[in-house]
Structure 1
Amino acid sequence: MDTTDKKETFRDIIQSGKPVLVDFFAEWCGPCKTMAPVLKQVQEKMKDELRILKMDVDKNPAVAQAFGIQGVPTFILFKNGEIVWRQSGAMPQAQLESFLRQNM
């Protein structure tokens, strides 16, 4: 899973040709912690098809505000810079993969 590289902006990442799942999370969030291994497994299975980016809402409040993040975890799937799917709350790996495949 990626954290933003200083040379690569958030906008650059979400506008790339490869779909990008952004995990808006917080260090203090229990459900966010339970999603960490799920996201790792999804990344391993879909690594050539999907990029996963973790975005700490406490360290990046402007980005969280720009996308109207009200609760964490919130997942937003971007395709060519457009939001194609959005979901808040923890979910099982199979459900997350299913939503991603339906929307990629």
Structure 2
Amino acid sequence: MFFGKTCPYCQMFDPIFRQVGERYRDFANFVKADIEEFYQLAASLGIMGTPATVAFVDGRPVEVAPGFMTAPQFRAFVEAVLNTLVVNRLIKGETPLHGPRCSRRWRGSRRLSRGEGQEA
């Protein structure tokens, strides 16, 4: 999720983001990125406001949800992305999800630090 430190909608969305992130932590990573620190990444993704949620699959953005979402809306967003991922991998004959944590190194939700996620 791209957020702004002074954005009231980001502050309201944060506990929802964390709660849903915890619920689906075995299937996806939930990472927050301050839009002021990661403005180039946000611009490259067409992010023009906060909060904005971007779903990445295999390092590529596949879905963008701009603005505040309620918990049911955010859960539906996450489930739709995960369902699409599973179906696409089954069609290709691949394993839908790779073991615990999808072979990822982070647990639950976290904040992206400067330098992470940036191209060298």
TM-score by length of 1: 0.74
TM-score by length of 2: 0.65
Q: CA RMSD in A?
A: 1.0
Structure 1 stretches of 5 or more lacking a match? 1-22
Which secondary structure does the structure 1 equivalent of 2:11 belong to?
A: helix
1:58 is matched with 36
| Equivalence map 1:58-97=2 (5 Å) | 58-97=36-75
Structure 2 stretches of 5 or more lacking a match? 83-120
Residue number among 7, 31, 45 corresponding to 2:9 in the alignment: 31
Greater strand share, 1 or 2?
1
Q: Give the distance between the partners of 1:56 and 1:73, measured in 2 at CA.
A: 10
Give the Å deviation of 1:75.
0.5
1:45 is matched with 23
AA partner of residue 22 (structure 2): E
Question: Following TM superposition, where does structure 1 have runs of at least 4 consecutive aligned residues deviating by more than 6 angstroms?
Answer: none
Give the Å deviation of 1:84.
1.9
1:99 is matched with 77
AA partner of residue 42 (structure 2): A
1:8 is matched with none
Which secondary structure does the structure 2 equivalent of 1:77 belong to?
A: strand
Q: Give the distance between the partners of 1:66 and 1:84, measured in 2 at CA.
A: 14
| Equivalence map 1:11-30=2 (5 Å) | 23-30=1-8
Identical-residue share of aligned pairs (%)? 28
2:105 is matched with none
